[in-house]
Amino acid sequence: MEHAVRPARWLGGAVVALAAVFLIASCAAREHPAASSSAGAGAGGVAAAHGADGGHGGHGGHGGHGQPFTPPPAAPLRASERFVTLKLPEPYTPKAPSGGTDEYRCFLVDPGLTSRAFLTGSQFLPQNTAIVHHAIIFRVGPEDAKKAGDLDAGTPGEGWTCFGDAGIDGGTWVGHWAPGANETLLTQKVGYPMPAGSRLILQVHYNLLATGGKPGGSDQSGIRLRLTDGKTDLTPLVTAQLPAPIELPCTAEESGPLCDREAAIRDLSHRFGEQAGQTVKQLNEFCNQGKTPFPSATQHCDLPVKEGGTIYAVAGHMHLLGRSIKLELNPGTPAARTLLDIPAYNFDDQAIHPLAKPVAVKAGDIFRVTCTYDAGLRKLLPALHGLPPRYVVWGEGTSDEMCLGLAVMSPTSAPAA
């Protein structure tokens, strides 16, 4: 992404940096009460928001994976919009490296843009839901499309391995899918800019827990794009990524070599590369001022706003041990408000939440993202049976964890498309 600050690459490549409007100047990770039940997001300001398709949630099994996926009926096209449906060029059979159970693979697809457009909605179409964990859609402009094409052509098989990010500089997050995150349309005249010649990179997280890391069949997922003709200017959107660390120890009933934090981080780096261990270190440096990490089921991070903007929608992402996630603005002040509050996190319901009214933020405001986890769920989840207990930190595998708030917003100085 084109950002001035590149502290780390988070959410399985989702956070290649914080959005340009945010600068981590100081953070704090400490134990917090469980998230309250007050809701900060509503359904207002949305033309069509297809909600979660139910499911028992990550606490009852493998997050609903393996269930057939039928996308909700598409909302009608609006003025100047059209659909473009793409899929992976060829079926791909994931192979988890380094004895792990996860692979992140990036695929280059071409929406065929000969003139500028805006992306106003997207619906990811997972084909093999037994192995597709989540996906992120990155846009690369024409200046970076050749680099992506060269990387694709020089890598055996379809696509390329991309732990940490899209594998090239210049990728801008324009959409994502996780269970329950179907197409959400905003009523405001906003969209992600798509210059002529842009390409998309689909980063797909494949999880092979059910097969013990062995190939679990092929996948040829796709995506349905909602594009405008570009003749009318829309307010450009960005997706700001707001992370917090995880420092979840083994339960009192658990023991084993990976219950040691440093051993767990070494194992993480073995499975995903040195950047995975660096992410854990950088999160601690940004969110805890580099102090010695302390184990706790709940951690949070305060993220100051560098430049203002307007937030239209929010979402949160955790893995199977997640209990709750909360995103607040200016906590502990008279201007405090809750933007997202999920007190009973359900892995199968990771929908995007449009705000009842857009929320303005200004330089100096503070975002706080808070996540709570439960290591005791490990013995209850069929997906995690047979895995050794571990000290859980931020990691890209399904058996690791993530704490990420997302804000779909337009920064004040967003450049015109």
Instruction: List Cβ neighbours of 120 (8 Å cut-off, separation of 6 or more).
Output: 78, 81, 185, 186, 190, 191, 192, 226, 227, 228, 234
Return the percent helix, strand and coil in the chain, to nearest 5. 10, 35, 55
Q: What is the pLDDT of residues 244-280, one digit of tens each?
A: 999 999 999 999 999 999 999 999 999 989 999 999 9
Beta partners for 186?
46
Say if pTM beats, i.e. exceeds, 0.85.
Answer: no
Residue 69 has pLDDT above 50, yes or no: yes
Q: What fold is seen in the domain 242-411?
A: Jelly Rolls (2.60.120)
DSSP 22: B
Token code pair at residue 231: 């003749």
Instruction: List Cβ neighbours of 6 (8 Å cut-off, separation of 6 or more).
Output: 16, 17
Q: What is the mean pLDDT of residues 132-144?
A: 92
Instruction: List Cβ neighbours of 359 (8 Å cut-off, separation of 6 or more).
Output: 310, 311, 329, 337, 339
Separation of alpha carbons 362 and 304, rounded Å: 10
Average pLDDT value over all residues in the chain: 83
* pLDDT band, very low/low/confident/very high, at 170 (cuts 50, 70, 90): confident
Percent with pLDDT over 90 in the chain: 64
Residue 287 has pLDDT above 80, yes or no: yes
Beta partners for 199?
140
Residue 343 has pLDDT above 90, yes or no: yes
Please tell me if the domain spanning 46-236 has the same topology as the one spanning 242-411.
yes
Residue 61 has pLDDT above 70, yes or no: no
Q: Which residues of 200-210 are buried (b: 16+ CB within 10 A; e: fewer)?
A: bbbbbbbbbbb
**SS3 of 237-282:** CEEEEEECCCEECCCCCCCCHHHCHHHHHHHHHHHHCHHHHHHHHH
Q: What is the mean pLDDT of residues 374-401?
A: 91
* pLDDT band, very low/low/confident/very high, at 290 (cuts 50, 70, 90): confident
Work out whether strand 190-194 and strand 235-236 pair parallel, antiparallel, or are unpaired: parallel
Any idea where the domains of the chain sit in the sequence? 46-236, 242-411
Residue 350 has pLDDT above 50, yes or no: yes
Q: What is the pLDDT of residues 139-164, one digit of tens each?
A: 999 989 999 999 999 999 899 999 87
Separation of alpha carbons 179 and 156, rounded Å: 30
Instruction: Assign domain 46-236 to its CATH architecture.
Output: Sandwich (2.60)
